[in-house]
Amino acid sequence: MKAWIVATDAHIGELVQAADGCEQITLVAVGWNGGANAGCDRVIRIQGADEVPLEALAPAVVAHVAAQDDDCVIVESTQAGRVFAGALAIALHAPVLHSVQSVAERNVQLARYGGLVTETYATGGAVVLLVDGVSDGTNGTALIETVDATGYAARVTRYDAPVGGSVNLDQAKKIVGVGRGFKEQEDLHVAEEFAQALGADIACSRPLAEGQNWLPRDRYIGVSGQKVSPDVYIAVGISGELQHMAGVRGAKTIVAINSDPKAPIMKQCDLGIVGDLYTVLPQLTAAIQQG
Ligand SMILES: Cc1cc2nc3c(=O)[nH]c(=O)nc-3n(C[C@H](O)[C@H](O)[C@H](O)COP(=O)(O)OP(=O)(O)OC[C@H]3O[C@@H](n4cnc5c(N)ncnc54)[C@H](O)[C@@H]3O)c2cc1C
């Protein structure tokens, strides 16, 4: 089984790891120049014009992924990656699978129910796999080939910053996650002041981004949101449902602040503070500021 990895940036450590059981790995690097030392055997670099969005290079990606019947194509789960995955699935008559843990010998291991169980999918042909990339690949040397591509007739004419600002949670070392324990949107300033004192980024549970719309969607963590691996994740007013916790399994330390000692997160954290966030957070902020 050969593997093709398609990615638009250097965060392919997890994709290379997923392909570990495959005999040959070809990286298709779309719009970036790295990948030589990422642990792949070969790199095809696809370069489009500056103003062409990466999604528009999907035809070039399809043209350069020569996957055969039993091969797998591992695509970085980004906005552009999902477009590539769809185009590849059509071209290869292949299914698209997500939540991939590993691939070997025509079997794909898939995490289900937020990682509580593993499903083994026996492939009957080529498969397209969506994998979250967080870390950079760091091993080996690869043969490099660079190709120019024109792609679909799409041009970027304007950039609009997302409301609330954009954030790169997958690289954040400290994250403060806020949940429905906050009663009003205005109350989030308590968490923002705490995060600022700590030098942390703000993230949230899904209801705050989808439903209440207090924060942008790229801030919510979980099985259907961002997967993060910070040194410390501080969950404030978050109950710890498995759909949320699936996104923070990579955190080195989890701290929970919750008024309910029986909240599920209390059994999943390294340090639990039982208390009202409106009392606890200002005290922690003041303590940090005083050094
Ligand atoms: C298919 C599916 C996919 C989903 N995907 C995701 C996902 O990717 N990410 C995600 O987050 N959710 C996801 N969910 C939703 C998930 O199941 C939970 O409903 C959600 O995570 C709960 O958010 P929460 O913890 O903020 O709110 P709640 O569950 O309502 O918890 C609020 C917590 O705040 C505490 N609290 C209340 N007041 C205070 C106070 N004053 N001080 C301190 N603590 C207080 C409470 O004790 C409680 O534990 C998904 C659900 C489904 C069905």
Range list of H helices, 123-270? 188-198, 206-209, 242-245
Task: List Cα–Cα distances, 276 to 54, 73, 111, in angstroms.
Answer: 46, 48, 34
Residue spans of the domains in the chain: they are 3-148, 169-290
> pLDDT by residue (tens digit) across 56-112?
999 999 999 998 888 999 999 888 999 999 999 999 999 999 888 888 888 899 988
> pLDDT by residue (tens digit) across 173-208?
999 999 999 999 999 999 999 999 999 999 999 999
Position 42 pLDDT exceeds 90: yes
Task: Supply the residue whose CA is at minimum distance from atom 14 of ligand 1.
Answer: 243
Position 134 pLDDT exceeds 80: no
Q: Is 219 in the pocket of ligand 1 (CB under 6 A)?
A: no
| Mutate which of 182, 205, 267, 268 for ligand 1 pocket (most atoms within 8 A of beta carbon) | 205
Q: Coil, helix or strand for 57?
A: helix
Task: List Cα–Cα distances, 175 to 50, 163, 178, 264, 265, in angstroms.
Answer: 33, 19, 10, 19, 16
In angstroms, rounded to a whole number, what is the distance separating the alpha carbons of residues 268 and 235? 11
> How much is the pLDDT for 164?
58
pLDDT band at 163 (very low <50, low <70, confident <90, very high): low
Q: Is 123 in the pocket of ligand 1 (CB under 6 A)?
A: no
pLDDT band at 4 (very low <50, low <70, confident <90, very high): very high
Position 278 pLDDT exceeds 90: yes
Task: List Cα–Cα distances, 78 to 34, 130, 160, 226, 270, in angstroms.
Answer: 17, 9, 18, 11, 30
CATH topology of domain 3-148: Rossmann fold (3.40.50)
Position 265 pLDDT exceeds 70: yes
Do the domains 3-148 and 169-290 sit in the same CATH topology, yes or no? yes
Mean pLDDT, rounded, of the chain: 91
Weakest mean pLDDT among 128-137, 203-212, 249-258: 128-137
**Residue 34: DSSP 8-state:** -
Is 3.40.50.1220 the CATH classification of the domain at 169-290? yes
In angstroms, rounded to a whole number, what is the distance separating the alpha carbons of residues 173 and 157? 34
Weakest mean pLDDT among 52-56, 88-92, 156-160: 156-160
With tokens 């695509």, the residue in question is 75
Tell me how far the alpha carbon of residue 52 lies from the centroid of ligand 1, in angstroms: 39
Q: Is 212 in the pocket of ligand 1 (CB under 6 A)?
A: no
Please give the average per-residue pLDDT across 260-272, as a whole number. Answer: 97
Q: Is 238 in the pocket of ligand 1 (CB under 6 A)?
A: yes
pLDDT band at 166 (very low <50, low <70, confident <90, very high): low
Q: Is 151 in the pocket of ligand 1 (CB under 6 A)?
A: no
Segment of 35-39, 92-96, 128-132 carrying the highest mean pLDDT:
92-96
Residue 153 burial (CB count, 10 A): 7
